[in-house]
Structure 1
């Protein structure tokens, strides 16, 4: 008709249909951008100013400051230190029992790099037997008695 020959039927049968992915990606990005913009427009936060009453501490109530942790250390020779003071293990148990009665007792366990594992566990058991729940293990290096 217009100077172009009609297509061969054999050529049309050998061509395979293919799916173009680029337009599909464009549509997905368009939907994603639309969803993001739509959800951002829904977030309208309004603030209502409130005048809340201020709480005053009654004069009979005493505010207790949090206690500093007690440092317990085990040396490589099996010596025990209570805040850098050399003491025996029975004295450690006695001090732990007294310290457990204070408000919010905290213990920091530390040891030498060559300390016996059994001595450290023995100290940890004594702390737990005294009823102290807040126990931390220090992981940095300390010299003996420091």
Structure 2
């Protein structure tokens, strides 16, 4: 009788290193995506220039965006001039003395900016800063 030797069967191995590489790639991708999405919140404006620009760093930024003709925005959410005070109070409910940063387009009329500042003053918000970019020297 002829006896044939059967080859030993190899067991399949589960390689996790390529899976870890893929997971790290996805993690980095989503982190970079979320950083770009957060900074792009709101309407793009062309800020006016100032030679005396300083940096402010409130704990919870409260940004009111004023464009030339478009809607006002509070932290990226559209609002109207009539509803601005309520929207700011809603965003700043945890802060007794919120600092509001006005992000105005350089083409926005001064009257529109003053109207926004009047509404903020009537809402008892006295700490208002105007965002600018530094002038090139």
TM range (shorter): 0.3 to 0.5
Q: Could you tell me the TM-score, scaled by structure 2's length?
A: 0.48
- The higher relative CO (CA closer than 8 Å, separation ≥ 6) is in 2
Q: Could you tell me the TM-score, scaled by structure 1's length?
A: 0.45
Bigger radius of gyration among the two: 1
